[in-house]
Amino acid sequence: MASLKDLRNRIASVKSTQKITKAMKMVAASKLKRAQEAAESARPYAERMDKVMGALGQSVANLPGASPLLVGNGQNQTYLVVVATSERGLCGGFNTNIVRAAKRRIDALLAEGKDVKILCVGRKGRAQLQRFYGNRILDTVDMGGTRYVGFSDAARIAERVRVMFDEGVFDVAVLFYARFQSALTQIATEQQLIPVPLPDADQADGLLDAGGDAIYEYEPNEEAILDDLLPRNVSVQVYRALLENAASEQGARMTAMDAATRNAGDLIDRLTIQYNRTRQAVITKELIEIISGAEAL
């Protein structure tokens, strides 16, 4: 049985941990509002741009000279899987859920005979994927020094992906991240970056005319606009994913630290009861010894 000193030390240790988890919960809650607003603000633009690019790709898919960023390079053999996770832990199943979704997709591609290469954004994703696909990881983008995600961070990652595509490193790029729904719920999401995914009938509504062509007028000309718009679309989608991840991470961390704080409180209560019972037993034993000694005299 644990001694009184051991129990006191353990109670003090758990109380210290409880203070830390409570402070981390408050910090995450203060960061969550800003991150959530940024993620929700970026959604309409990113979603609309993705639909426009998809409709445009559908209208020019069979035309010669169409940009590979829009319609692909004609091959479907090598995939680049971009896995965006966090740099820090203590955020529940946030990172694990993203990696699990990416792992399912990678395993399915490998089963189909495809070649898979991985680009990790964040150290936590790499740490988990390293065990299964160490030789397939090309590199890791370190986001540790980034306090708030900016468009320049996303543009840097998107430029890296575009350069690899231009060099023929892969044929198709897909991105995995966590879409923020609430502090309790973050949905692991897969999105195709390159080429732009073609929309279905519902998504194309209002973007295509009766003949299935995109409803656009180009000014000054189609080439000049697409040369700027297509690379920007990749950056916008990456930026949206990073913002969603930032909000999801804070929501998951707040929830995890709240649960840890409550669990620490429950453990303190149980240890306190055990301490009081042990102390009472020690006192009772001492009293019995004193009474027994007095009767012996």
Residues forming the active site: 91
End-to-end CA distance of the chain: 32
In DSSP notation, 52-82 reads HHHHHHHHHTTSTT--HHHH--S--SEEEEE
Task: Tokens for 203, please give them.
Answer: 């998504």
Distance of CA 69 to the CA centre of its chain: 25
Using DSSP, state whether 150 is helix, strand or coil: coil
Task: Tokens for 290, please give them.
Answer: 């004193």
| Rounded CA separation 141/151 (Å) | 15
Burial 226-258 (b: 16+ CB within 10 A, else e): beebbbbbbbbbbbbbbbbbbbbbbbbbbbbbb
Distinct helix (H) and strand (E) counts, the chain: 6, 5
